[in-house]
Amino acid sequence: MRICLITPDPDHPLLAAAAGLLRAAGHRVEPLDPGTAAGPPAPPLAPPLAPPLADVYLLKARTPQALALARELERQGAPVVNTAAATTLCQDRTAMAELAVRAGLPFAATRTHDSLGAWAASGDPVPDGPVVVKSRHSRRHDLVARADDAARLRELAAQWPQEPVVVQDFAPNNGWDHKLWAVGGRVFAALRRSELAPEGRGPTLPLALGELPAGWEQLVLRVGEVFALDVYGVDVIDTGGGVPLVVDVNAFPGIRGQAGAPEALARLALARATTRHG
């Protein structure tokens, strides 16, 4: 099988380990750098691609160029994991919340403002206690902050005046995020001190699936079904007594340090490649 990695970083630990397993089994693995938004445009694609299409493409990039490349590959009949549509959806936190609520997932109530500066200047008070303010469009180094009062909100607005944002009521919790991932239906888990905790983001700690509250593993798999994702992350907080609240969904996150994740990714790639030929 020929597997292509759509990424500017083929040496990422998860990708490199999975690629090593695939190559050891006799498969061909090739990186395909789509370029970056700030770089030169990717060359236009015209069917048929040369060389011929790979058997499967793993999309671990979120730039406009990467998504355009993935859409073109899909148009030509190539399987892409995750699809361009599913990856794009997870970049828009408003669309993400709307879909999650429609599907009945325990997702944080989310409100959208076109401009943080305009909202802060509107005179609306911070509703009923602390809120979490996030960039509407998920990306590296985006805005994720807690605002306990109007003064903090104005401070954030001064730093991000034109930023479209989503606002979620802060849910009391123990200060730790459950970082849950799925690869081809296999779930992985860890704990990480939240960046919203007073101490700031802390280390990632291992967490066995058996230590998750009842139903959480099934919740992660349900998220994958709803969002049509094969490789993804779900950020969940425990609001008390094992009651989950989903606060974010990410397409193809890093999943570092999770034993078995590279093997699961390699199996998924081969399964999707086989499906194409089946």
Q: Which residue is listed with tokens 């990186």?
A: 31
The mean pLDDT value for 265-272 works out to: 97
The answer for residues whose C-beta is within 8 angstroms of residue 229's C-beta and 6 or more apart is 82, 86, 90, 182, 223, 249, 251
Does residue 142 surpass a pLDDT of 80? yes
SS3 content of the chain, % helix, strand, coil (to 5): 30, 25, 40
Burial of 155-183, coded b for 16+ CB within 10 Å and e otherwise, reads ebbeebeebbbbbbebbebeebbbbbbbb
pLDDT at 39: 36
pLDDT at 208: 95
The mean pLDDT value for 46-59 works out to: 74
The mean pLDDT value for 183-205 works out to: 85
Please, are residues 173 and 237 in contact by the beta-carbon 8 Å criterion? yes
67-81, 193-207, 253-267: lowest mean pLDDT where?
193-207
Q: Report the share of the chain in percent with pLDDT over 70.
A: 91
d(CA 111, CA 245): 16
d(CA 158, CA 151): 11
H helices of the chain, in order, are 13-24, 64-75, 84-89, 93-102, 116-121, 150-159, 216-227, 261-277
| Helix/strand/coil for 189 | strand
pLDDT tens for residues 101-141?
999 999 999 999 999 999 988 877 656 679 999 999 998 88
Q: What are phi and psi of 22, to 5 degrees?
A: -65, -45
30-44, 192-206, 262-276: lowest mean pLDDT where?
30-44
DSSP code of residue 108: P
| Helix/strand/coil for 101 | helix
Does residue 156 surpass a pLDDT of 50? yes
Which pLDDT band holds residue 240 (cuts at 50, 70, 90)?
A: very high
pLDDT at 198: 67
Please, are residues 29 and 22 in contact by the beta-carbon 8 Å criterion? yes
pLDDT at 35: 77
| pTM (2 d.p.) | 0.91
pLDDT tens for residues 10-39?
999 999 999 999 999 999 999 999 874 333
pLDDT at 49: 46
Rg over alpha carbons for the chain, rounded to the nearest Å, is 20
Measuring CA to CA, how many Å separate 81 from each of 49, 211, 243, 269, 273?
Answer: 19, 29, 31, 8, 10
pLDDT at 149: 87
d(CA 179, CA 176): 9
pLDDT at 127: 61
The mean pLDDT value for 62-66 works out to: 92
Pairing mode of beta strands 80-81, 56-59: parallel
pLDDT at 24: 98
Does residue 229 surpass a pLDDT of 50? yes
The mean pLDDT value for 250-258 works out to: 94
Does residue 9 surpass a pLDDT of 80? yes
pLDDT at 204: 85
Which burial class, exposed, middle or buried, applies to 66 when counting CB atoms under 10 A from its CB (0-12, 13-18, 19+)?
buried
